[in-house]
Structure 1
């Protein structure tokens, strides 16, 4: 027991970070309140005249050890500490109390952890509510027959667990919409095989029996249940679990009881998103929708997600036991891994072993105690260190002890940290699946209490203000460290604006604003910040060989001012250009500057002498127009050639003695050949230009014109012949069609009575017929 007490004290000290280094990371400090909010180890000295002349009041804020070194006397250090106040602390076991304390009030210093001990002891005979949730799809027919016989056995099993047990019953299949269930009217009424006489209509989830101790009532209602059916293998298990969890008043869950849901099934489960297959897009709202004991929103609302199920089971202190067949064990083991307080058991083929399975699962669940918290307020952190059978566990965001027997006492060291100042808020801590919870009310101590006199101080504050935690709180019209500055008609804010560069921090945080002017503080090295806004210091220039400005200059406002014979950012180089000179004697080829005896080249050019340029445009491209105007007097530069090309010296040659000369086309489409050499400087070249151009031969105009005319005439003739041929073929086709129709005509052989043959009468004028 002494060893256990020692371990608790050790953890408590560790929770307060006794063994860690105390550091006060100060930011902008204007008051005692600002100081204690800066960190858990920042404390304030309220001693009068603690600061030296010109020293900022912010120096009152530091670690306790540093303030004592500076001369702050005992009784003048302000350091609010954490306060734990138990509000409800009933003894364990009394009135079935398993958790102690039941309510505490914590006042925390921001950033300072506080550790207290939470005790838990299992009560013998603690009430148990068990809700049996059964899959009634057709494949569970033999299981249902067995469960109807096991009612008394279930109650007997509860009696061995507790003397105060209740059992309820519910059943489920799946949503009664396609593709989950056959929506044919006859099939909805009887989804089983034709040979099955007792088959109830398809349904989603039905609550059958509320929590009861009456064995006869339970057996009677369960015996009235019959098998049903659906189409696909996964069932609506999660729909049923969600409703059985959130409909507490209807199910009959008691406030102080161990709550168990036994889910018996031989199939997998649908989850959030599967409802889209049936056009159900509304997410599950995690609310109760039981109407006449049926889930009324089954076909309107999607299945819940595993995360929603886990959250609601935790919030309602319900522990699920998944009683599944062998083929589904792996699926539900994966589901159980996502639900902290749950167990999986394997059913026999006809569920005969369900009673023994429930007893084993209950023993596992009740013997493992996992302590965690509800949703934490913003800026609050909680960690746990379990102490199980005298053995200290590891620190984490949960605390767990296994194999906890009835009546066995276990403890958890709970560490709470508030990272910032917060208003009073609360959260719960307690074991998963158990109703008993510890209410933790948290607030922060962010204000200093200094017991200052209420009247103005005639000595310390010049009669123009009163002392507040060792500082002067000036009356209206006065400012300054000791209220020595009268601001007259101006307000203090306008004077303080004059001390801010670019509307930034007042005096860059390195001085005090006194009557609109910055009085700069001293640096640690002994020198003083300077400048209009204390923006300059002489201690933070670059170093060389661990010497400020290499020992060859002085630091001024963060930059080195080198002696005449030195240069460089840290005055680390002697002035010389020996290593920068080319064989021709130029410095960096005229395309850079020599610093620290090395060339700093213009963009594109490379060390050591800025000769080679990567990324620069080719001179063949950039100098082509100048070559044309200088060598042959043509091109776009011809009118202003001497000015446009003044950086190029040239020579006309009969032959170019280079391997790959530049070639460009001029305005007459002729090829110009030349070579260039860059001299020292940026735009300084010499060029050799080949005095002959390669021009293409002129085309034979007459041959082109004659050929063009002949070609046009030939094409025209061919077109005429083609058109003539098309017309001839069309006429020939029409004629043949006419001949064909003519041959098929049948003319009538009878004489037309209206038709008379032509007759010819010849009369001899000399013969009268007499």
Structure 2
């Protein structure tokens, strides 16, 4: 656009800029670049609209609400294209017995007409479908160190199928193995070593080395898995790292050979006890050709193993993402940290620690499968550089947050997202005004396709609505479109009236000098002999600075309602005074309820009270020790927040400012806030705070919950008393019994002691007479005859 048109646009913007600054805001629609054309206007911001009225003196591009003012643009002449959203394919999420019946992502295809800088939200539903098809390919390192793992895997093959079949009825299982490239220094190329690189623990010869072999394509007959694992032989190589990346690339790229289904959750278990070779390592064996990422399989063997280098980490990551394959790294403890770092850069992958003989492989697969499927992460792809996509969800909570992931998802459970698409600017290439991008759940092949039709042009700019060489454009020197002239080369000005060859003529500059030695006082442009002032300057030669006045919190010169800036001086509107027009005339707003100015606790300036220390309020009638406004606001708080109190609903709507009463979970704690607390009709305490705003009104915040006294539990009290009495009685009985027992023990001990120490009298009894009598014969000599 030519110089004069830019200058005229700048002049038109001046009025809008003054209004915007007076409101303390920012209006992007009145920028100079937005005034160039209708397409530039609608690309600036979502609230911008273009006025089609001929000879419109205000900015043609402005906020729609500004255009709609009584002195603005004719409503029928305002153009502001609106976005639209059409669900072209919207099959509801559902479970399914057959693969083609299950739907996990809704909708599937959406057409959007989208305007730059205006976000559009698309609701998305994800469901973890029951019996969704699962393809599990077990890729195993069959170097000699994994011999015992192979044996254990064969034993557990049926158990793997049984566990996975309990999760989904539609389960297929496959098996493949890898060793390394058959070149030095990875394997020994000695002829006998190429045939028999090692011996097994039983003394049997190992199989010849190979890169990757597909033993069993994905099959519903899972009983074959154990047979194939058992029949597979281990092999041997020289270095520690293995050719796992070659195997992953072929197992993913060769969809037909492996048997991946188009509708399924594709999963791969990668089992090894060693590290991996990656891009560049092939040079050690003289292999310099980069890996092309394509399928090279013949008779279930990787044919380009010795001709192409190993794939890079980014190639493997990209191929797994492209084919929607989730990978579980089942590795031994010493390799866990390496593969854990690798899993962080591969989408929808996890790492599990493998036992020395793989005995825990069944639990490892099941646990990591649940880990992968228990959360959903939405991704976007093919997003242009001028487009951004954000995701929002409540998951299973109450508050919406910006997130692309939801966890703890169960089978058969729905979760809702919102995808917010924003076009930041219109592409320069017209062909890029139509774009297609997609949104997908990580690890799944289902896609939501978004067809974007970017609104980069107003309808009035279509070729059918243009008037080339219009007489409205100064004798046909331009094309009339959207109410303005688009000038032909060499012409400029609002109506293309200026000839570019006369821009620097002395006569033109002389008309713009005035009392200055510089055209337009150096504050504008001289266009066709007239000054077009820069925003903020005015008068004939731009000599006045209409932005040099002082600013207040309401804007320059107190805002448009109080005054305007004219050549650096504030001209106040009626009812206002002062250098910045910030003072209201009179003191009517300062008189307190006691009839005194500022209630005797402050000074009135600009019809506003400036209170002494400790006093506050519009008329300085409130203080920490004063009754304040608690009682005054009590009734309104009760009716507005709790539907209680003395006021009826009609009285509440009539006498209370409900727009100033806000209900929150917690009360604010800031300087200048007064807290109030009262008992409500239900004997519960309710609390609220109030604070004076700059305009003198009272802002009230009410705590949502009340503090209620706990109800008396009569049964508990009676039960407690009875229980206490019983307990005391039992205690007293126990004490009596204990004392009695102690007394008896003491008496018995005393008796025993006395009995043991008793001394009986041994003297004769005078009345005692023995039962027998003894007589002696004096003549008996004691001899026998």
Which 10-residue stretch deviates more, 537-546 or 368-377? 537-546
SS of the residue corresponding to residue 24 of structure 1 reads helix
Shift of 1:159: 0.9
Question: Which residue of structure 1 lines up, in the alignment, with residue 532 of structure 2?
Answer: 521
Once residues 493 and 185 of structure 1 are traced to their aligned partners in structure 2, the CA distance between those partners, rounded to angstroms, is: 87
Q: Provide closer, same or farther for how the CA distance between residues 142 and 525 of structure 1 changes in structure 2, counting only shifts above 3 A.
A: closer
Once residues 256 and 384 of structure 1 are traced to their aligned partners in structure 2, the CA distance between those partners, rounded to angstroms, is: 25
Once residues 437 and 357 of structure 1 are traced to their aligned partners in structure 2, the CA distance between those partners, rounded to angstroms, is: 29
SS of the residue corresponding to residue 538 of structure 2 reads coil
Residue deviations 1:36-65, cap 9 Å, x none?
A: 23344432111233227xxxxxx2122334
Where in structure 2 are the equivalents of 1:234-253 lying within 5 Å? 234-253=241-260
Question: Which residue of structure 2 lines up, in the alignment, with residue 23 of structure 1?
Answer: 28
Is the Cα–Cα contact under 8 Å of residues 198 and 227 in structure 1 kept in the other structure? no
The answer to whether 1:78 aligns with 2:79 is yes
Shift of 1:229: 0.8
Shift of 1:275: 2.1
Structure 1: where are the runs of 5+ without partners?
1-19, 53-58, 502-506, 531-535, 547-770
Once residues 404 and 462 of structure 1 are traced to their aligned partners in structure 2, the CA distance between those partners, rounded to angstroms, is: 69
The answer to whether 1:189 aligns with 2:195 is yes
Once residues 23 and 494 of structure 1 are traced to their aligned partners in structure 2, the CA distance between those partners, rounded to angstroms, is: 34
SS of the residue corresponding to residue 367 of structure 2 reads helix
SS of the residue corresponding to residue 417 of structure 1 reads strand
Shift of 1:529: 8.2
Residue deviations 1:634-690, cap 9 Å, x none?
A: xxxxxxxxxxxxxxxxxxxxxxxxxxxxxxxxxxxxxxxxxxxxxxxxxxxxxxxxx
Which 10-residue stretch deviates more, 520-529 or 408-417? 520-529
Once residues 252 and 547 of structure 2 are traced to their aligned partners in structure 1, the CA distance between those partners, rounded to angstroms, is: 68
Q: Provide closer, same or farther for how the CA distance between residues 199 and 77 of structure 1 changes in structure 2, counting only shifts above 3 A.
A: same
Is the Cα–Cα contact under 8 Å of residues 35 and 61 in structure 1 kept in the other structure? yes
Q: Provide closer, same or farther for how the CA distance between residues 453 and 206 of structure 1 changes in structure 2, counting only shifts above 3 A.
A: closer
Is the Cα–Cα contact under 8 Å of residues 453 and 466 in structure 1 kept in the other structure? no
Where in structure 2 are the equivalents of 1:182-261 lying within 5 Å? 182-193=188-199, 196-261=203-268
Q: Provide closer, same or farther for how the CA distance between residues 228 and 100 of structure 1 changes in structure 2, counting only shifts above 3 A.
A: same
Residue deviations 1:616-647, cap 9 Å, x none?
A: xxxxxxxxxxxxxxxxxxxxxxxxxxxxxxxx
Once residues 485 and 108 of structure 2 are traced to their aligned partners in structure 1, the CA distance between those partners, rounded to angstroms, is: 45
Is the Cα–Cα contact under 8 Å of residues 78 and 448 in structure 1 kept in the other structure? yes
Where in structure 2 are the equivalents of 1:287-306 lying within 5 Å? 287-306=294-313
Once residues 213 and 104 of structure 1 are traced to their aligned partners in structure 2, the CA distance between those partners, rounded to angstroms, is: 35
Question: Which residue of structure 2 lines up, in the alignment, with residue 615 of structure 1?
Answer: none
Residue deviations 1:233-261, cap 9 Å, x none?
A: 11111111111111111111101101110
Report how many residues are paired: 500
Structure 2: where are the runs of 5+ without partners?
1-24, 96-100, 510-519, 553-785
Where in structure 2 are the equivalents of 1:97-136 lying within 5 Å? 97-136=103-142
Residue deviations 1:202-228, cap 9 Å, x none?
A: 111111111111234434433321010
Is the Cα–Cα contact under 8 Å of residues 536 and 546 in structure 2 kept in the other structure? no
Q: Provide closer, same or farther for how the CA distance between residues 540 and 273 of structure 1 changes in structure 2, counting only shifts above 3 A.
A: farther
Q: Provide closer, same or farther for how the CA distance between residues 522 and 164 of structure 1 changes in structure 2, counting only shifts above 3 A.
A: same
SS of the residue corresponding to residue 320 of structure 1 reads strand
Once residues 222 and 545 of structure 1 are traced to their aligned partners in structure 2, the CA distance between those partners, rounded to angstroms, is: 83
User: Normalising to structure 1: TM-score of the pair?
Assistant: 0.59
SS of the residue corresponding to residue 126 of structure 2 reads strand
The answer to whether 1:34 aligns with 2:34 is no
Residue deviations 1:118-172, cap 9 Å, x none?
A: 1111110000000000110001111111222233222212211110111111100
Shift of 1:295: 1.5
Q: What is the aligned counterpart of 1:433 among 404, 429, 443? A: 443
Residue deviations 1:520-544, cap 9 Å, x none?
A: 32444452586xxxxx877599999
Once residues 479 and 341 of structure 1 are traced to their aligned partners in structure 2, the CA distance between those partners, rounded to angstroms, is: 59
Question: Which residue of structure 2 lines up, in the alignment, with residue 414 of structure 1?
Answer: 419
Q: Provide closer, same or farther for how the CA distance between residues 27 and 168 of structure 1 changes in structure 2, counting only shifts above 3 A.
A: farther
Once residues 65 and 451 of structure 2 are traced to their aligned partners in structure 1, the CA distance between those partners, rounded to angstroms, is: 32
SS of the residue corresponding to residue 147 of structure 2 reads helix
Shift of 1:291: 2.3
Q: Provide closer, same or farther for how the CA distance between residues 428 and 476 of structure 1 changes in structure 2, counting only shifts above 3 A.
A: closer
Shift of 1:302: 2.0
Once residues 431 and 26 of structure 1 are traced to their aligned partners in structure 2, the CA distance between those partners, rounded to angstroms, is: 41
Is the Cα–Cα contact under 8 Å of residues 284 and 303 in structure 1 kept in the other structure? yes
The root-mean-square deviation of aligned C-alpha atoms, in Å, is: 3.6
Which 10-residue stretch deviates more, 41-50 or 223-232? 41-50
Q: What is the aligned counterpart of 1:470 among 483, 489, 508? A: 483
Q: What is the aligned counterpart of 1:448 among 454, 458, 463? A: 458
Shift of 1:93: 0.5
Q: What is the aligned counterpart of 2:54 among 25, 42, 48? A: 48
Q: Provide closer, same or farther for how the CA distance between residues 462 and 301 of structure 1 changes in structure 2, counting only shifts above 3 A.
A: closer
Residue deviations 1:555-593, cap 9 Å, x none?
A: xxxxxxxxxxxxxxxxxxxxxxxxxxxxxxxxxxxxxxx
Shift of 1:113: 1.5
User: Normalising to structure 2: TM-score of the pair?
Assistant: 0.58
Question: Which residue of structure 2 lines up, in the alignment, with residue 60 of structure 1?
Answer: 60
Once residues 449 and 49 of structure 1 are traced to their aligned partners in structure 2, the CA distance between those partners, rounded to angstroms, is: 20
Shift of 1:349: 2.0
Shift of 1:68: 4.2
Once residues 450 and 330 of structure 1 are traced to their aligned partners in structure 2, the CA distance between those partners, rounded to angstroms, is: 62
Shift of 1:278: 2.2
Question: Which residue of structure 1 lines up, in the alignment, with residue 370 of structure 2?
Answer: 363
Q: Provide closer, same or farther for how the CA distance between residues 542 and 390 of structure 1 changes in structure 2, counting only shifts above 3 A.
A: closer
Q: Provide closer, same or farther for how the CA distance between residues 541 and 370 of structure 1 changes in structure 2, counting only shifts above 3 A.
A: closer
Residue deviations 1:267-297, cap 9 Å, x none?
A: 1112222223223233222221222222222
Is the Cα–Cα contact under 8 Å of residues 179 and 243 in structure 2 kept in the other structure? yes
Once residues 189 and 443 of structure 1 are traced to their aligned partners in structure 2, the CA distance between those partners, rounded to angstroms, is: 63
Is the Cα–Cα contact under 8 Å of residues 126 and 164 in structure 1 kept in the other structure? yes
Once residues 406 and 236 of structure 2 are traced to their aligned partners in structure 1, the CA distance between those partners, rounded to angstroms, is: 43
Q: Provide closer, same or farther for how the CA distance between residues 522 and 136 of structure 1 changes in structure 2, counting only shifts above 3 A.
A: same
Once residues 503 and 195 of structure 2 are traced to their aligned partners in structure 1, the CA distance between those partners, rounded to angstroms, is: 84
Once residues 545 and 365 of structure 1 are traced to their aligned partners in structure 2, the CA distance between those partners, rounded to angstroms, is: 59
Question: Which residue of structure 1 lines up, in the alignment, with residue 699 of structure 2?
Answer: none
SS of the residue corresponding to residue 337 of structure 1 reads helix
Once residues 344 and 240 of structure 1 are traced to their aligned partners in structure 2, the CA distance between those partners, rounded to angstroms, is: 18
Residue deviations 1:169-194, cap 9 Å, x none?
A: 11001112222211111111111138
Residue deviations 1:583-623, cap 9 Å, x none?
A: xxxxxxxxxxxxxxxxxxxxxxxxxxxxxxxxxxxxxxxxx
Which 10-residue stretch deviates more, 405-414 or 105-114? 105-114
The answer to whether 1:163 aligns with 2:169 is yes
Residue deviations 1:453-487, cap 9 Å, x none?
A: 7889999778968863222468999976457x5x9
